[in-house]
Structure 1
Amino acid sequence: MTEPSQTSARLPLDAETVARITDAVDRGLEKTVATLTDLVAIPGIAWDSFDREPLERSAQAVAALVRSLGVVDVEVVTEAKADGTRGGPAVVGRRPAAPGKPTVLLYAHHDVQPVGEESLWETEPFTAVEREGRLYGRGAADDKAGIMVHLAAFKAMLDAGADSGVGVTFFIEGEEEAGSPTFRTFLERHRQKLAADVIVVADSGNWKVGVPALTTSLRGLVDGVIGVRVLGHAVHSGMYGGPVLDAPTLLARLIATLHDDQGNVAIAGLDQTHHADLEYPEADYRADAAVLDSVRLAGTGSLADRLWNRPALSIIGTDVTRLEVASNTLQPEARAKFSLRLGPGMDPDAAMDAVRAHLDSVRDTVLFGAEVIFEPGETGLPFSTDTSAGPAQLMLASLRAAFGVEPVESGMGGSIPFTADLVEVFPEATLLITGVEDPDSRAHSANESLHLGDFRHAVLAEALLLAAAGL
């Protein structure tokens, strides 16, 4: 990794105030972790196929925690989806700013991913277990830790007598892992309540354990379903096989066209517009992503650019016959779901059109004229920010003071589609994306965990930010 540049801003807090805030964070840390453990025990999943009761219980638990801090204006709010059904319950709590003071909006989400294959977990998913300095459990990192960073930071500021009158609005969403279907409606309907000068999104990660990061760019996202249809119905593979290729075989040929021989995305029109200043050592990437030693890395250009600024396409699911029920039959249709990440500067609508055009271009050659299936899915804009703004410099200074090392300004290969909505609805606000995850947190996977040392540092960094923001 290249050496990060020195943060130009310094905290407008004297050493005594910093010491009081640090002491307040440390005195409350055991209770903070215990409360996080209680939140992990609530399996609030916002997907329609799961029981809604735990999700509602999760929202009420968060609302009670916000009220326990002396915040009087707290409510649980739900908006309707496009189909008229209810979205996930969000918690909004407001402590107004003193005259002439700014307001900081603190965002996190209380819903979590499903467990997945339980046999892969080494502990019970919804029972938080501390082991070797990490807290294991679904949501321990993504994103119930983000909730507790906000709550504990605000409390530490108050307990340390460092309240400068900054306004604080807690916005804890309840459907992020389900794609935030009512997020834009929620922002527009509650614009006045959520208006802020600074927005802190605690849903990202750090460079590595012990080294904090301010996320300066996110990739956008388009997804959908692609597939092929070759027969009006299934037929016997012995009687009819040979002159026609089955749908799974043609789907494999189609998928193979999506990358060139070096592993770059081969869809025309997805041009890189940003370039990374940091280096990401290959050895670190292989360790972080658990890449097998025999696997050659795909793509060209710097590794950081391949992760943050270039397009990346994955096949995340297929509909083909399961092995246990396979018979000697030519399958008439096969489909796959693709997930295409877009670097900053790329347009999601143009990217979706490019995918469609690519499918059309290979139909007559690679696919032998088979009928092509294309079902567009979700889209999300990429994000990038200028860290020269005052709040960003203050956040970097807070991270430096809390962690004791220089923070990194880094991109992130993932997508947080709602960031574009925040920027559009609140164009005057400075958006700061932070988080508590590290490369081994395994968010969305089995054995998700939180590094408790970094968690403590993250709470302290945000407490310093809140204390300094009103000065």
Structure 2
Amino acid sequence: MQQPTTPDASDPATVAAGRETARDDRTGALVGDRDDVALERDLGERVDLLFPSAVARLAELVRIPSVSWASFDPEHVERSAARVAEIVRALGVFERVDVLRSNRADGTPGQPAVVAVRPAPDGAPTVLLYAHHDVQPPGDEDGWRTPAFEPTVVGDRLYGRGASDDKAGIALHLAAIEALRDVTGGDLPLGLALFIEGEEEDGSPSFDRFLADHGDALRADAIIVADSENPSVSTPGLTVSLRGNITFRLTVRTLEHAWHSGMFGGAVPDAVLAMVRTLDSLWGPDGGVAVAGLTAREGADPGIEGDERRIVEAGLHGAATPIGRGSVRDRTANQPAITVTGIDAPSVATASNTLVPSVSARVSVRVAPGQDADAARDAVVAHLRAHAPFGATVEMSEFDIGQGFLVDHGTPAVTTMLDAMRDTWGSEPALVGIGGSIPFIASLVERYPDAQILVTGVEDPATMAHSPNESQHLGVLRRATQAEARFLLRFGRGVAER
């Protein structure tokens, strides 16, 4: 298997031992305590040595089609959880490794998750490592250049569903732990908890109950959620903001029953007309959101070089133009957005000359980081009720709400991770705002208010997560593993507190 190149792990410039380590004025190399430097050199070399087996483990997990949606065979998710647990037990690091479930809100069992625990030595911190072993459905098989569940290496990338999102996150955590185990002789300087969820791609419906049932075992001083992206294959990213989200069903009704369009067309409003007018009120002429009470976090994150190319990557059709205002980064990470993701109305194939009495739509609202999602929901509800035309009745139901996320940049965990990324990748880490949502992070914040939460990841702009031809860049995976291993060593040894 071809292995991509990475920074030389034996180079002192890549093995800083924390804040007390200084840079040589002449060479720029990092110098410091020899024991720390030697230990980190060994750690980087160990990650390199173990990397082929880490990729092999990732490939093994990709072969399991662990789609967590109700319409897919749950046996595959169970098999995936069992295999992850076997691999974790084989590390010989954790005191206990369990496959656990909790019930969803409707009382049905959730998907299996893997929980592993190693208590911290006296006075040492604990770090919780999160990833998920379930995956999206493969989608259109004709769109795949390689079989969706047959891991295939092409150049520097491993292709397959879940190869990046998020089985690479599992491989990252396990390889970092394994390398740390080996260079310390098993005498780890910190406690570890591992939480490999089984239903993230289905909205984590049992997550809150799971924390209620098993939260004490997952309590930690820092939490690493390895489920985000890097700006490029050469620049690491730490996600510092995520938008919240609101999805709901909007139903508009104007008539008690359907009528022949020739009898009353032009005299009474049909529901399609009322729905179109209602939805149109959500945006201004430039396509930007026009709902009073939805706030923006303008210009909060620095733009990333080449970010404007994302408009091109979106594949606008024909003469279609971008919407909204401000930089692409602000539009996609710091401003609210509203999308209609589905409409229940007569299809073109089955349409008749009829005035439709009611129509429903699925509406998705992305809430700017820093705004409370419940307050945003109230603003949207008030807007839709105020803008219903022709006296139409509007009903909103089936709400699903997730809070956004903002990071305190100044915590010891953030500082330690940024240093580890910088020293491993050889480039300045980017503080990234993501337009998507990870609602369960709000649950972690609520459950563990004192924990420092870091959102990292192994994706890059070419990963194509959720799409055909999802792939993982192996160089990114290697460097992310080295950075996480260095973080665990430094955080456990209290480097950030020196």
Equivalence map 1:251-266=2 (5 Å): 251-266=275-290
The TM-score with structure 1 as length reference comes to 0.93
Q: Distance in 2 between matches of 1:72 and 1:317?
A: 47
In the alignment, is the contact (CA less than 8 A) between 2:43 and 2:180 conserved in 1?
yes
Q: Match for 2:157 among 118, 129, 134?
A: 134
Distance 2:66 2:81 in 1: 9
Query: Could you give the per-residue CA deviations for residues 93-125 of structure 1, whole angstroms, max 9, x where no partner exists?
Result: 112212221111000111111223333222222
* 1:330 aligns with one of 355, 362, 387: 355
Kindly indicate whether residue 368 of structure 2 is the aligned counterpart of residue 343 of structure 1: yes
CA contact (8 A) 1:213 1:434 kept: yes
Partner secondary structure for residue 274 of structure 2 = helix
Output the CA distance in 1 between the equivalents of 2:471 and 2:347.
Answer: 33
- Cα distance, 1:429–1:274 mapped onto 2, change above 3 Å: farther
Which of 217, 224, 229 is equivalent to 2:253? Answer: 229
Name the aligned partner's letter for residue 147 of structure 1: I
1:387-439 per-position Cα deviation (integer Å, ceiling 9, x unaligned) = 21111111001111221111011211111111111111111111111001112
Kept after mapping to 2: 8 A contact 1:232/1:332:
yes
Q: Identify the residue that residue 90 of structure 2 maps to in structure 1.
A: 68
Per the alignment, in what secondary structure is the counterpart of residue 384 of structure 2?
A: helix
1:156 aligns with 2:179: yes
5 Å matches for 1:38-437? 38-70=60-92, 71-161=94-184, 163-273=187-297, 275-280=299-304, 281=306, 283-292=308-317, 294-363=319-388, 367-437=389-459
Deviates most, 370-379 or 245-254: 245-254
**Aligned pair in 2 of structure 1 residues 450, 21: CA closer, same or farther (>3 Å)?**
same
Partners of 1:335 and 1:127 lie apart in 2 by 39
Kindly provide the CA deviation profile for residues 192-233 of structure 1, in whole angstroms up to 9, marking residues without a partner as x: 211111100001111122110111111111110113223333
Q: CA offset at residue 247 of structure 1?
A: 2.7
Cα-to-partner distance string for 1:243-280 (whole Å, 9 max, x where unaligned):
23433333222222111012211111012246424124
- Identity rate, percent: 47
Is 1:442 aligned with 2:464? yes
Letter in 2 for 1:171: F
Runs of 5+ consecutive residues of structure 1 not aligned to the other structure: 1-7
**CA RMSD, aligned part only?**
2.1
* Ranges in structure 2 where 5+ consecutive residues have no aligned partner: 1-17, 22-32, 494-498
The equivalences for 1:443-462 within 5 A come to 443-462=465-484
Distance 2:140 2:360 in 1: 23
Aligned-partner Cα distance in 2 for 1:10–1:417? 37
User: How far, CA to CA, are the matches of 2:314 and 2:480 in structure 1?
Assistant: 23
Cα–Cα, structure 1 residues 282 and 401, in superposed 2: closer, same or farther, change >3 Å?
A: closer
| Deviation (angstroms), 1:376 | 4.3
Counterpart residue identity of residue 137, structure 1: G
Of 370-379 and 34-43, more deviation after overlay is shown by 370-379
Contact 1:222 1:339 in 2 (8 A): yes
C-alpha separation between the residues in 2 aligned to 1:75 and 1:288?
Answer: 42
Q: Which moved more, 1:21-30 or 1:411-420?
A: 21-30
Match of 1:4 in 2: none
Distance 2:362 2:81 in 1: 32
In 1, the alpha carbon distance for the partners of 2:174 and 2:367 equals: 33
Deviates most, 243-252 or 266-275: 243-252
Given that 2:307 and 2:329 are in contact with CA atoms closer than 8 Å, whether structure 1 keeps it comes out as no
Task: Provide the rounded CA distance (Å) in 1 between the counterparts of 2:124 and 2:437.
Answer: 32
2:410 maps to amino acid: S
Q: Is the alpha carbon distance of 1:435 and 1:193 closer, same or farther for their aligned partners in structure 2, counting shifts above 3 Å?
A: same
Q: Tell me the distance in 2 between the aligned counterparts of 1:334 and 1:122.
A: 39
Following the alignment from structure 1 to structure 2, what is the Cα–Cα distance between the partners of residues 245 and 120? 42
* Deviation, structure 1 residue 371: 2.2
| Distance (whole Å) between structure 2 residues aligned to residue 144 and residue 10 of structure 1 | 35
Relative to structure 1, the CA distance from residue 67 to residue 164 in structure 2 (aligned partners, 3 Å threshold; closer, same or farther) is closer
Give distance in 2, aligned partners of 1:23 and 1:292.
48
Contact 2:180 2:188 in 1 (8 A): no
8 A contact 1:387–1:393 mirrored in 2: yes
The letter of the residue matching 1:131 is: V
SS in 1 for 2:57: helix
CA distance in 1, matches of 2:182, 2:307: 44
Give SS of 1:360's match. Answer: helix
**What is the CA deviation profile of residues 75-109 of structure 1, one whole-angstrom value per residue up to 9, with x for unaligned ones?**
01101112110011111011221222111100011
Equivalent-residue separation in structure 2 for 1:9 and 1:440 (angstroms): 34
Distance 1:396 1:282, change over 3 A: closer
Identify the range of structure 1 (216-225 vs 235-244) with the bigger mean alpha-carbon deviation.
235-244
Instruction: Give 4+ residue runs of structure 1 displaced > 6 Å after superposition.
Output: 10-13
The answer (yes or no) to whether the contact 1:214–1:410 under 8 Å persists in 2 is yes
Secondary structure (helix, strand or coil) at the match of 1:14 reads helix
- Contact kept? 1:352, 1:376, Cα under 8 Å: no
SS state at 1:56 partner: helix
TM-score normalised by structure 2 residue count = 0.88
What is the count of residue pairs matched by the alignment? 462
Of residues 198-207 and 156-165 in structure 1, the stretch that sits farther from structure 2 once superposed is 156-165
What is the match of residue 3 of structure 1? none
Change (3 A) 1:47 1:19: same
After superposing the two structures, state which structure 1 stretch, 205-214 or 46-55, moved more: 46-55
Distance 1:240 1:374 in 2: 28
Mean alpha-carbon deviation: is it higher for 258-267 or for 186-195?
Answer: 186-195
2:313 and 2:180 map into 1 onto residues whose CA distance is 34
Distance 1:206 1:10 in 2: 27
CA distance in 2, matches of 1:456, 1:286: 29
